[in-house]
Amino acid sequence: MQASVLLIEDENDLLELMEYHLQKAGFETTGFLSTKKVEQFLDEERVDIMIVDRNLPGAEGSEFVQKLRQKGVEIPVIFVTAKDSSEAIEEGFLRGGDDYLTKPFNMNELVLRLKAILKRIHNEDGEILYHRDITLNLKSREVFVEQKKIELTKLEFELLRTLIKHKNSVLNREVLLEEVWKDEAFYQDKTVNVAINRLKKKIDPSKTKNYIKSIWGVGYSLC
């Protein structure tokens, strides 16, 4: 299942731009131009994280979040705003913000901040793994590349999970056999190589993203 992001931003062009980049990074998004109807949406739909501007029509963004906190809404919030003074930033955190990004900002940085917060929250029970625009839900055993759900076999899923779990390391054949194939008694010399190639074709059919790097004589790593 994709992580769901709710955005409140009164500049329509910026809202659309943020939604485009977040969807490309594998998030499911819902955008609002004001706080009106947001509480109703939160009551009816699942939301994993919110991005909130502070300069909004009808309600100041941090005051709105403060009211949500008082009502018991604990959804993580990143403020994305032009209010960049040290006092404003402190105020944003005191009113319930989990992170604070000032305009103008880099879209890649926003994506990284989102993933960092979600990783900290969801990975307490190890439910969700991320790598670039890949989202791996361990509970539902679903895999998404950008917005597209990818069907993997059990073995391919475990192989991708292991690679993401150790994404800062090079994994040799023996480690992969131990973690992915476990106690299976029979496998051939090319077992790992064949499985890696099948996985590559499914998550990168156009061969343009190069998620998995083969290091000759050593093993495999994500990139």
The CATH architecture annotation of domain 4-122 reads 3-Layer(aba) Sandwich (3.40)
Tokens of 113: 């901040």
Domain boundaries, the chain: 4-122, 151-222
pLDDT score for 81: 94
Q: In this model, does residue 196 exceed pLDDT 70?
A: yes
Among 29-38, 57-66, 97-106, 190-199, the minimum mean pLDDT is found in 190-199
Q: In this model, does residue 123 exceed pLDDT 80?
A: no
Tokens of 109: 């940085």
Q: In this model, does residue 166 exceed pLDDT 90?
A: no
108 CB neighbour count, 10 Å cutoff: 10
- Reported as a single tens digit per residue, the pLDDT across 204-217 is 998 888 888 888 88
pLDDT score for 15: 96
pLDDT score for 88: 95
Q: What's the rounded Cα separation, in Å, for the pair 165 and 92?
A: 33
145, 26 Cβ separation under 8 angstroms: yes
Angular region, 71: left φ>0, alpha ψ -120 to 50, beta rest = alpha
Q: What's the rounded Cα separation, in Å, for the pair 155 and 191?
A: 11
Q: What is the DSSP letter of 26?
A: T
User: What does pLDDT average to over the chain?
Assistant: 87
**Hey, is 13 helix, strand or coil?**
helix
- Is CATH 3.30.30.60 correct for 151-222? no
pLDDT score for 215: 84
- Reported as a single tens digit per residue, the pLDDT across 149-164 is 899 999 999 999 988 8
Fold agreement between 4-122 and 151-222: no
